[in-house]
Amino acid sequence: MAPAPTTTYTTADLAARLGGRLEGDAALRILGVAALAEAGDGDISWVGDAKYAAAAGQSRAAALLMSDGVEAPPGRTAIRVADVDLSLIELLRLFSPFGERPAAGVHPSAIVAPDAVIDGVTILANVYVGRGARIGPGTLLHPGVYVGDMAVIGRDCTLWPNVVIRDRIVLGDRVEIHANSTIGADGFGYIFRRGRHLKIPHIGSVVIEDDVEIGANSTVDRAKTGATRVGAGSKIDNLVQIAHNVRLGAACVIVAQVGISGSCTLGNGVVLGGQAGVADHVRIGDGAMIAAQSGVRGRVPPGVRLAGTPAIDAAQNWRQLSQLRRLSDLAGELRDMKRRISELESAAHDPERR
C-alpha cells in the first residue's frame, strides 16, 4: 500500500506555481501525480498530445495538465500550459516523496580524515572520507559512500549509497551519482609478455564536470595518464562503462549498458542508444546519434545517425533489415523460378514437347 500523501495542493495553487491557465474547479484538492491509466480521484495527470485525448476521457484523474491545442474532456478541470513536459518536471518536484535534504553534519559512524575539508556537508552513516579530500557545501553523502584521498567534490552534489570516488578524482558542482557506481577504478590495460598479462599502471584521474548525472552501477575508469573526462550537463544511465582516457563532450546522453572503449573522444550532444559499443580510439562528432545495439568501429562525422553492427547510415541499415526479413520469401520464389526454368529447358530439349 502506498503511503498517505503528505503534501496537497488546490488546482488554483498548482496553476499559479506552473504559470498555467486554470479551467474548471479552482478549489479541487490534488493529492498526487499519476499516468492517465493509473490516476485516481485525487490525482492530476498530463496530456501533451491530441493522440492521448481519448485516454484522457477514460481516465479517472481529477484534473489534467494539458497543452493549449488539446481539447479537455467534458466537465474535467484542466491546467493549460505552453509546454506540458517542462511543467510536468515542476509538478513532479512538488509531489516528490523524498523530502528535504538532511541538515549538514557528520554521522557518528562516519570516518573523516582530520585534514579533509567538509564545511557545510551532510555525511550520513558509514561514510569514509580520505586524507586531503575537499567537499563543497551543500553536498550530501548517503550511507556507505567512499571518498578517496585528495578527491575533490564540488557544491550541492548528491552521492547515493555505496558510491565509490577513488583517490584524486574531481567532481564539479551539482553532480549526482546513483547507488553503487564507481568513479576512478583502474583502466583495463595489459600487455602480454613471457606468457602472462602484465598490468599497465593507470596513474591519471577522472574529471566529472558540472551538472552531470550518472546512473546506478556505472563505472568511469581513471586515465593511464591525464584524465578521463565527462563534459558538463551529460547524462549517463545505469550499467554504463566508460573506459580510461575517454573524453565525453557536454550535454551527451549515454543510455544503459553502453560500453565506450579507451581513448575515445565524443563531441558535444552525442547520443548513444542502449547497449551500443564503441571501439577504442574512435572519434564521434558533435550531435551524432548512435542507435541501440550498434557497434561503432571508425570515425563518426558530426550530426549523423548510425545503426547496426558495424554501424552504418541508419536509414540504410533499416532498409537492409527490411530486405533481410524478406529473404525466406525470396528464397521460395527463387526455388520456384529454378523449377520453372528447369522445366522449360527440359521441354526445349524434348522434341515431343516442342
Confidence of residue 2 (pLDDT cuts 50, 70, 90): very low
Confidence of residue 354 (pLDDT cuts 50, 70, 90): low
Q: Is 57 exposed, middle or buried (0-12, 13-18, 19+ CB in 10 A)?
A: middle
User: Could you tell me the CATH superfamily of domain 9-94?
Assistant: MurE/MurF, N-terminal domain (3.40.1390.10)
Higher pLDDT, 177 or 100: 177
Rounded to whole angstroms, the Cα distance separating 113 from 74 reads 64
Catalytic sites, residue numbers: 244
pLDDT at residue 3 is higher than 70:
no
What are the grid coordinates assigned to 294, written together? 550498434
CB 126 within 8 A of CB 108: no
pLDDT at residue 7 is higher than 50:
yes
Mind listing the pLDDT tens digit for each residue in 131-151? 999 999 999 999 999 999 999
* Percent of the chain scoring above 90 in pLDDT: 85
Mind listing the pLDDT tens digit for each residue in 81-132? 999 999 999 999 999 988 788 999 999 999 999 999 999 999 999 999 999 9
pLDDT at 143: 98
pLDDT at 42: 94
Neighbours of 135 (CB within 10 A): 28
pLDDT at 235: 98
Choice among 40-44, 272-276, 333-337 with the minimum mean pLDDT:
333-337
Average pLDDT estimate for 290-296? 98
Average pLDDT estimate for 313-334? 84
pLDDT at 330: 79
For residue 16, give the 3-state DSSP assignment: helix
Query: Which residues neighbour 232 within 8 Å (Cβ) at sequence distance 6 or greater?
Result: 172, 209, 210, 211, 212, 250, 251
DSSP code at position 102: P
- DSSP secondary structure of 30-90: E-EE--TTT--TTEEEEE-SGGGHHHHHH---SEEEEETTSPPPTT-EEEEES-HHHHHHH
Confidence of residue 353 (pLDDT cuts 50, 70, 90): low
Rounded to whole angstroms, the Cα distance separating 220 from 243 reads 6
Rounded to two decimals, the pTM is 0.88
pLDDT at residue 31 is higher than 90:
yes
CATH 3.40.1390.10 residue window(s) in the chain: 9-94
Average pLDDT estimate for 45-59? 94
Nearest-CA neighbor of 164 among 220, 121, 116? 220
pLDDT at 5: 52
Give the residue carrying C-alpha cell 525466406. 328
CATH of domain 105-314: 2.160.10.10
